[in-house]
Amino acid sequence: MESFKVTVNHNRCVGSQLCVMFLPAVFKLNEDGQSTVFATAGVDVNSVVQTAEQCPQCAIRVEDVSTGEVLFPPVELEM
């Protein structure tokens, strides 16, 4: 099991595909043109956080499973 959890907020995702371009092994667009998490096995959490930082909609959330800490987004960007 991965030590982190990644989710995409579909109320925010506009399908810009930036995350898919940065991490195609992790993110795929679904049939609605929105990003979904495909796989995270063997992926460095830092690369996921860096990708989440690039999302123009701040739609990607990364959480440390063991501590519950939200690695991204920071509190001020969460709505």
Only one residue has tokens 């195609």, namely 24
User: Does 59 sit near ligand SF4 (CB under 6 A)?
Assistant: yes
For residues 1 and 48, which CB has a smaller minimum distance to ligand SF4 in the complex? Answer: 48
CB of 63 to ligand SF4, least distance (A): 16
Residue 37, strand partner residues: 27
Burial of 11 from C-beta contacts in 10 A (0-12 / 13-18 / 19+): exposed
User: Does 37 sit near ligand SF4 (CB under 6 A)?
Assistant: no
Amino acid at 17: Q
Alpha carbons within 13 A on the beta-carbon side of 25: 8
User: Does 19 sit near ligand SF4 (CB under 6 A)?
Assistant: yes
CB of 12 to ligand SF4, least distance (A): 7
List residues near ligand SF4 by CB under 6 A. 8, 13-19, 35, 55-57, 59-60
